[in-house]
Amino acid sequence: MDVPQQTPPFRAGLAVLVGRTNVGKSTLTNALVGKKITIVTPKPQTTRHVVHGIVQDPAFQLVLVDTPGFFKTRTSRLVSELHRKAREALEGIDLIVHVVDPSREIGEEDQMVEDVLRPIRQSRILCLNKSDLSRKISRDAWRARAQSYAGMVEVSARSGAGLPELRQLLAGLLPEHPPLYPPEEVSNMHRDFQIAELIREQVYKLTEQEVPYRTVIELDAVEEAVTNEGKTFLHIKAAVLTPNDRYQRMLIGVGAQMIRAIGTGARRELERTLGRKVFLDLDVLIDKHIKG
Ligand SMILES: Nc1nc2c(ncn2[C@@H]2O[C@H](COP(=O)(O)OP(=O)(O)OP(=O)(O)O)[C@@H](O)[C@H]2O)c(=O)[nH]1
Ligand SMILES: [Mg+2]
């Protein structure tokens, strides 16, 4: 006898990714969304805004909230600001994904994450990332903690292993709710913000030590333009702002090598992400309002 098929109700909600710095929260967000919406660098603490990445499915909409990593040092203003942002991101969310890196010892930062999570009532998932690495120092210790979570998965944001399981596990825990975002959206970020982030990513990749933390990306113009051959492209005029001429010299580099490399790398990423031809006009300017 045929049982009439009922379409299950649509599910939608927010899942926040928390975890110490460098465990791969941003990489995981990008991998689940299938698009680069948040920047990833080997240097810690590069995520400074709360970014929504939207996983679209005919049956559900999973909104991932990437947060800045938790840091051991509590002294610096920037660090406490990041912690505040991470806590803010926990408000109004449906699920928590606690991302950990089993290739490293469980540390003080992991303890801090658990302390922040303890009073929170939402369901939480334990996600052991970097399963592609053979070093698995704390894997057993994390697995032993799995009973205090609604579920546990082992994934590799890099290779994609375990991601379908994570996706299904999260989808199953979402509340019945109409979509939160339009069906084609992959991120809450406006295009211009995304452009600035991709430029900032190159500054992080190519400059040393404190330089990235002394820069702000400013977009002056993003315009549709046409080549002599009639092809359209996006003309982006932007500046890397920095507090003094010492940083300005470092950012420009000998024979303007540094700023050229930043510009070339950023244009490549912009073209890949926006899926179109880009002309990037990038300056390095002094802005005394930025903390030196
Ligand atoms: N081998 C391996 N490396 C990974 C994996 N996921 C992320 N990484 C690397 O780990 C580093 C940190 O990744 P991010 O995604 O920036 O980490 P995060 O948790 O967002 O870091 P913060 O924003 O500083 O808190 C990068 O070098 C990634 O390429 C993975 O599954 N396997
Ligand atoms: Mg990050």
CB 194 within 8 Å of CB 265: no
48 domain-assigned: yes
Q: Are residues 270 and 141 in the same domain?
A: no
Residue range of the domain that includes 196: 191-286
Average pLDDT, the chain: 85
Tell me the two tokens of residue 150: 């609604």
Task: List the residue whose alpha carbon is closest to atom 1 of ligand 1.
Answer: 130
CA distance 172 to 62: 10
Stretch among 103-117, 153-167, 273-287 having the lowest mean pLDDT: 103-117
CATH classification of the domain holding 150: 3.40.50.300
Stretch among 168-172, 190-194, 240-244 having the lowest mean pLDDT: 190-194
179 domain-assigned: no
Q: What pLDDT is recorded for position 48?
A: 45
Q: Which comes out higher in pLDDT, residue 216 or 170? A: 170
- For residue range 59-108, list pLDDT tens digits in order: 999 999 887 766 544 444 444 555 565 566 566 789 999 999 999 999 88
Q: Are residues 141 and 269 in the same domain?
A: no
227 domain-assigned: yes
For strand 123-128 and strand 151-154, is the pairing parallel, antiparallel, or unpaired? parallel
Q: What pLDDT is recorded for position 212?
A: 85
Pocket test for ligand 1, best of 16, 23, 71, 98 (most atoms within 8 A of CB): 23
Q: Are residues 148 and 257 in the same domain?
A: no
62 domain-assigned: yes
CA distance 64 to 188: 10
Instruction: Using DSSP, state whether 110 is helix, strand or coil.
Output: helix
Task: List the residue whose alpha carbon is closest to atom 12 of ligand 1.
Answer: 22
Q: Are residues 123 and 243 in the same domain?
A: no
Q: What pLDDT is recorded for position 80?
A: 56
pLDDT at 225 over 60: yes
Q: What pLDDT is recorded for position 51?
A: 67
Q: Where are the beta strands (DSSP E) in the chain?
A: 11-18, 51-56, 60-66, 95-100, 123-128, 151-154, 216-226, 232-242, 278-286
Q: What pLDDT is recorded for position 81?
A: 55
Instruction: Using DSSP, state whether 238 is helix, strand or coil.
Output: strand
Q: Which among 177, 173, 251 is positioned nearest to 210, based on CA atoms? A: 251
> Of 113, 146, 173, which closes a domain?
173
Q: What is the pTM of this model?
A: 0.68
Pocket test for ligand 1, best of 16, 20, 26 (most atoms within 8 A of CB): 26
Q: What's the number of domains the chain is made of?
A: 2
Q: What are phi and psi of 108, to 5 degrees?
A: -60, -35
CA dihedral sign of residues 46, 40, 27, 157: negative
Q: Are residues 79 and 40 in the same domain?
A: yes
Helix H, strand E, coil C: the string for 19-60 is CECCCCHHHHHHHHHCCCCCCCCCCCCCCCCCEEEEEECCCE
104 touches ligand 1 (CB under 6 Å):
no
5 domain-assigned: no
231 domain-assigned: yes
180 domain-assigned: no
Q: Are residues 137 and 209 in the same domain?
A: no
40 touches ligand 1 (CB under 6 Å):
yes
Residue 256 burial (CB count, 10 A): 12
Q: Are residues 123 and 34 in the same domain?
A: yes
CA distance 240 to 196: 10
Q: Are residues 98 and 56 in the same domain?
A: yes
1 domain-assigned: no
Q: Are residues 78 and 123 in the same domain?
A: yes
pLDDT at 229 over 60: yes
> Of 173, 201, 234, which closes a domain?
173
Q: What pLDDT is recorded for position 78?
A: 47
> Of 123, 139, 173, which closes a domain?
173
Pocket test for ligand 1, best of 18, 22, 47, 85 (most atoms within 8 A of CB): 22
For the chain, the C-alpha Rg in angstroms (whole number) is 21
45 touches ligand 1 (CB under 6 Å):
yes
Q: Which range, 115-119, 176-180, 220-224, 265-269, is most confident?
A: 265-269
Q: Which comes out higher in pLDDT, residue 110 or 112? A: 110
Q: What percent of the chain has pLDDT over 90?
A: 52
CB 21 within 8 Å of CB 45: yes
CB 29 within 8 Å of CB 38: yes
CA dihedral sign of residues 292, 286, 225, 231: negative
